[in-house]
Chain A
Amino acid sequence: MAAGAADGAGSVGGDHHHHQARYPLDAASYRLLCKIGSGVSAVVYKAVCLPLGSAVVAIKAIDLERSRANLDEVWREAKAMALLSHRNVLRAHCSFTVGSHLWVVMPFMAAGSMHSILSHGFPDGLPEQCIAVVLRDTLRALCYLHEQGRIHRDIKAGNILVDTDGLVKLADFGVSASIYETAPATSSSSLSAFSGPIHAPSSSAAALSSSCFSDMAGTPYWMAPEVIHSHVGYGIKADIWSFGITALELAHGRPPLSHLPPSKSMLMRITSRVRLEDATAESSSSARKKKFSKAFKDMVSSCLCQEPAKRPSAEKLLRHPFFKGCRSRDYDYLVRNVLDAVPSVEERCRDSTQLCGCARGARCVSPCRHASSSSNVAKNRRISGWNFNEESFELDPTDKPPPPEQQSCFLFHHDNDDDDHNMLEHEQETNPTGGHGDDDSSGSARRRQGDNTDNGQDGKDGLSDVAVPHLVTILGSLEMQKDMVMQVLEGGGVGGGETAGRDQEREREEMLVGYVRQLEKRVQALSTEVEEEMARNAHLQELLHERACENHTDSSHTSGSR
C-alpha cells in the first residue's frame, strides 16, 4: 500500500504536486532494498527514502554510459515525466546523478507490471472484467497524454503498473515524444534539437493529426504498422493500435504473433493484415476456448484498424460500451482475484537479483558500475598517467606512475592500474583470436592465466556459458532473417498471391527496404550487446577468481586495488 500514496491522488490539472514532499537529491538518502526489474541499460530497485520516514519508492538506475540514447534524449524523458500530472500516469518524484548513473525516483507500484502479473499467475490471460478496469485507467492516461500533445509510443502490459489497491499507472516515457517539440536526432539541423514547438505554425496542426517522427520506437509486438515503416510518420493513433494489442495481451497472456520472433512479427504486420481472428486463432487451445464479449471484440478490432484515421481517439474509446460496465467493485475483484493470486514483486524478482553484475549486493551506491566500466576497460588498456612534470622532460617517458609525493600536484588518478592487467588477461581468455596486450603486462597475464585454470570449476562461470551462447543465437537468427528478407526483396515477389495495385507493391517494397535497414541496425546493436555481455561475464569471472585467489593464496602478484 505504501506506494502511490506519496504521489497524491491528483486529478488533471490539479496543482497538488506543489505541496508534495520534496524527495532528497542524493544517493545517501536512499537505501536500496532489492532489484525488481532490469533492462539493457537500466535496473529498477525497490528502495526506501530515509529522511522521509523510510517511504517506499522505486528507483530506476539508468546507466548513462551503456544507454544508447544520448543525454538530450534522457533529459527529454526526465522533463516529460516531471511535467506530467495525472492519477494514471507514473510521475517521477525527482532525478539526480550518481556517478555515471541517473537515478529516477518514482512511486513504488507494489503489484508490478501487468506483464509480470500475467507471467506469474495468468499465462492464459485475465478475466474480462479485470481487463476492462486496467484498460480503462490506461485509456485515461492516454487521453491525458494525447491531450498534452504527447505520444507514448510504447504501450504494452509491461508498461502498465499496478499498485496493491488496484491503482493503475502508465509508465516508461523512454520513447515518448511531444508533437510540440521538434523531433530529436532526425532533425536536419542539430541546433534545432533543443528548440521547443514546431517551427512553422502552419505545419503544427498537421503535426497534431499525423506527427512525422521517423525514428523507430517501441517494442516490436505492440508496434503499429505505420510505426514500423516509419517513413510514413505516425501520430497519436499509433498508441491506439498498441492499446488494442495490449488488450489482446491481457486477454491471452501474450501479444498476438508473439510465437514468431519479433522481427518476423513485424514483417507479418507489414505484409498482411492482423485481424482479431488471427490473434485468437493462433493462441493456445485453452485460450481459444475463452469466450470474450462482443463489446470487447468490437473495441479491440476498432483499435486494430489498418488505417490510422479510422481508429478511434482515446477519448472516444473511453466511451465505448466495453468500459460502460466498469464499476468500482471491479477494482476489488482485481485486487482479490488477480493481485492477491500472484507472488509479490520482490519474490518474482528474487531469482534474478543475483545477476546484478555488481558483487556488492543491493546496497551498493552505483549499481553495476563495475560491470559497465569493465567493458570499456577490457577493450582499452588505460594509461596509468601522463607525465606533466616539467623537470623530468629531459628524462625518458615513463610507463610507471610517478612516485607518490609527486602525485598530489597532478590532476590524474591512479586508481585501477592493476585492473588494467586483469582486464587484459580476460581479453586473452575470452577472445583467443584477439590481439595480445602490451609487453609489460603479458608476463603477469600468463602467470595469472595459470591460476585461472587451476580454479576452473567454480560453479558460477556457467553464467557466461549460458548467457553468451544465447545472445549469439539471437544474433544468428536475426542475421538469418535479414538474409531471408533480402532474398524476398531480390526475388521481387513480395507477399505473393495478393492482388495489390502497383502502387501498393512499390510502397510495400519501400517498407521492406526500410525494414531491412532497421534490422541491420538491430543486428549491429545486438552484436555490440553480445560484446558487452561477454566483457561483463569476463569481468564477473575475474571477480570470482580474484576472490578465490585471495582465499587460497597471498601471492605477491595479486596486489589488486580493490
Chain B
Amino acid sequence: MKGLFKSKPRTPADVVRQTRELLIFLDLHSGSRGGDAKREEKMAELSKNIRELKSILYGNGESEPVTEACVQLTQEFFRENTLRLLIICLPKLNLETRKDATQVVANLQRQQVSSKIVASEYLEANKDLLDTLISGYENMDIALHYGSMLRECIRHQSIARYVLESDHMKKFFDYIQLPNFDIASDASATFKELLTRHKATVAEFLSKNYDWFFSEFNSRLLSSTNYITKRQAIKLLGDMLLDRSNSAVMMRYVSSKDNLMILMNLLRDSSKNIQIEAFHVFKLFAANKNKPTEVINILVTNRSKLLRFFAGFKIDKEDEQFEADKEQVIKEISAL
C-alpha cells in the first residue's frame, strides 16, 4: 500500500542495492546486540527488502513475476557479493526473514540472464560459501535454512562435484545420524541429492572413492542401530546400484561376500520396510551372472532358509514387479 504513495517506485535493482547496504551494516555492527534502536530499525528495513525480493521473484497473490524484473534483480544480486553477505548474515535475521532469504536464494539458482545461469558462475568462483552452508548442519538454529540453500546450489553439476570431492562428504555420515530428526533428515535429503542427481558425476565419484565410501556406508549407515538411518540408507543404496550409470559400481558391490552378508542380515530386519528395500539390493547379488565363489558359497549354504524365507516374503500391496523379481531370485538360488 505504501508503495502507491511513493513518488518514484524502486526498481528491482534498487531493492537489491538497498538490501546489500543493509546487510553490510548488519555485518559490521554484529557486535552490538539488542537495545540498539538504530540496529532494530535497520533490521526491520532489511526484512522488508528481502520480502520484496521474494515477491518480485515469486510474484504475489495478485500478479505473476515479471521476467524482466527477475533478470534485473538477478544481475544486480550477483554483480557484487550479495549472496555471500546474505549467507553470512542469515543467523542474525529473524525466523521469517530467514525463510524469505532461503526462498530468494533458492529461486536465484534457476534465474537466467542471457541464457546463462548466473548463480552457477558465481558459486564456482566462491566455493567457500558451500563450506559455510554445509557447516550449517552443526548449528541447530540455521541447519534447515542452510540445508535448503545447499540443496538448491548442488543442482549445478559443477557445484555438486565440488561437494562430492571435498572432505565434507565424510561429515555427512555424522550429520545423517544427528539425534534431531528434522536436521538429520535434511542432511539425509542433501546426501541423497548429491548421490543421485548428476549421473555421470556420481558414477565417477563412486568409482574413484569406492573403498572408503562403501566401507563407511556399510559400517555406519547400513549397520546403524538407528531405524531411520538404516531405512534411508538401504533405500539410497538401492537407488544408486539400480541406476544404469552406476552399473560398474554395482557389479563391484554385488561381488563382495561382506556386502552380501550385510544385505542378508537386513533381509531379516524386524522392519518390513527395511526388508523390502534390502530385497531390492539382494536380488542384484542373486541375479549376478558371474558370482564369485564366496558369494555362491553363502547362497548355497543358506539355500533352504532363503527359499523358505522368500516363500513367505510378501508385501501388503499387490506388486507384479516385486513378485516377478522374487520368482527370479528363487529360481537363481534353486539353480545354484
By a beta-carbon cutoff of 8 Å, the part of chain A in contact with chain B is: 12-15, 17-18, 25-26, 64-65, 71-72, 75, 78-79, 82-83, 85, 94-97, 99-100, 102, 148, 180, 191, 194-197, 199-202, 204-206, 208-209, 313, 373, 376, 379-383, 385-388, 390, 392-393, 397, 399, 411-412, 416, 438, 524, 528, 531
Contacts and interface: CB of A to CB of B under 8 A. Distances in A.
B65 A205 contact: yes
A531 B316 CA distance: 10
Interface in B255-295: 261-262, 264-265, 267-268, 270-273
Contacts of A390: 297
B305 interface: yes
B185 A411 contact: no
B242 interface: no
Interface string B91-118: 0001111010011001100110000000
Interface in B10-60: 47, 57-60
B-side interface size class: 35 or more
Majority-rule SS of B interface residues: helix
A194 B301 contact: no
B64 interface: yes
Contact of A96 (B57, B95, B179, B262): B179
B180 A25 contact: yes
A199 B110 contact: yes
B301 A393 contact: yes
Nearest to B261: A388
Contacts of A79: 144, 182, 185-186
B47 A201 contact: no
5 contacts: A15-B95, A65-B273, A102-B181, A148-B99, A397-B304
A381 B223 CA distance: 22
B228 to A, nearest CB: 5
B336 to A, nearest CB: 12
Given A202-B64, A208-B59, A411-B265, A383 B185 contact: no
B332 interface: no
A71 B47 contact: no
B326 interface: no
Contacts of A411: 223, 261-262, 265
Contacts of B141: 18
B67 interface: yes
Nearest to B70: A201
Contacts of A209: 61
Given A100-B227, A194-B192, A373-B270, A383 B61 contact: no
B309 interface: yes
A393 B226 CA distance: 32
A85 B95 contact: yes
Nearest to A179: B58
B132 interface: no
B182 A383 contact: no
Interface in B305-322: 305, 308-309, 312-314, 316-317
B58 A204 contact: yes
A469 to B, nearest CB: 22
A412 B305 CA distance: 15
A26 B197 CA distance: 34
Given A14-B94, A26-B179, A97-B227, 16 more contacts: A12-B96, A25-B180, A64-B273, A95-B181, A96-B180, A195-B152, A195-B155, A196-B148, A197-B152, A201-B70, A201-B107, A205-B60, A209-B61, A386-B305, A388-B298, A399-B305
Nearest to B104: A197
- The 5 A-B residue pairs with the shortest CB-CB distance in the complex, in nearest-first order: A205-B59, A205-B64, A75-B185, A25-B179, A13-B96
Contacts of A13: 47, 94-97
Given A195-B151, A411-B261, A17 B57 contact: no
Interface string B150-163: 01100100000000
B95 A17 contact: yes
A524 B317 CA distance: 9
A14 B99 CA distance: 13
A79 B302 CA distance: 43
Nearest to A531: B316
Contacts of B181: 75, 78, 94-97, 102
Given A194-B151, A397-B302, A383 B309 contact: yes
Contact of B57 (A12, A201, A206): A201
Contacts of B111: 201
A206 B57 CA distance: 13
B189 interface: yes
Contacts of A205: 58-60, 63-65
Contacts of B273: 64-65
A393 B294 CA distance: 10
B228 A71 contact: yes
Nearest to A235: B61
A78 B70 CA distance: 32
B163 to A, nearest CB: 15
Contacts of A94: 180-181
B90 to A, nearest CB: 12
Most chain B CB inside 10 Å of its own CB: which residue of A12, A14, A26, A383: A383
